[in-house]
Amino acid sequence: MILTTTNSVEDYKILAYRGIVSGTSIDMQKMTLTFNMTKYYEGLTQSVNEVKAKAFEELKADAEKLNANAVIGISIDIELTTSNCIMVSVSGTAVSIVKR
């Protein structure tokens, strides 16, 4: 599965547009009691990356249901709430492509 934020894939031809697909993941941030800001931001980064990976897995599964082999024009939205929730939403257009 090819995933890209661009509207095309170099050296590939789009055969069919299958539809809009999305993936969303929400998780509580793992809080660590520390006065070390470096460790806090490292933990925050790790949490965001884990939630983002889950959202992309959902996006790919959604595209596979439509018999697509690529998703183009991917948009990523990351939100951190005051209640320590991390929400990642990704969306794009599922397409079928072939090598030129």
Structural Rg of the chain based on CA atoms = 17
Percent pLDDT > 70 in the chain is 93
Please tell me the predicted confidence (pLDDT) of residue 59: 98
What DSSP letter does each residue of 19-34 carry, written as one string? EEEEEEEEEE------
* pTM score of the predicted model: 0.85
User: Quick one: which of 8, 5, 17 has its CA closest to 100?
Assistant: 8
Q: How many domains, the chain?
A: 1
Q: Residue 18: which residues within 8 A CB-CB, separation 6 or more?
A: 63, 66, 67, 68, 93, 94, 95, 96
Per-residue model confidence as pLDDT tens digits over 21-69: 999 999 876 655 566 778 777 877 888 899 999 999 999 999 999 999 9
Q: Can you give the residue range of the structural domain that contains 38? A: 2-99
Per-residue model confidence as pLDDT tens digits over 62-71: 999 999 999 9
Distance CA 71, CA 91 (A): 9
Please tell me the predicted confidence (pLDDT) of residue 56: 97
Residue 79 has pLDDT above 80, yes or no: yes
* Residue 90: CATH number of its domain: 3.30.110.70
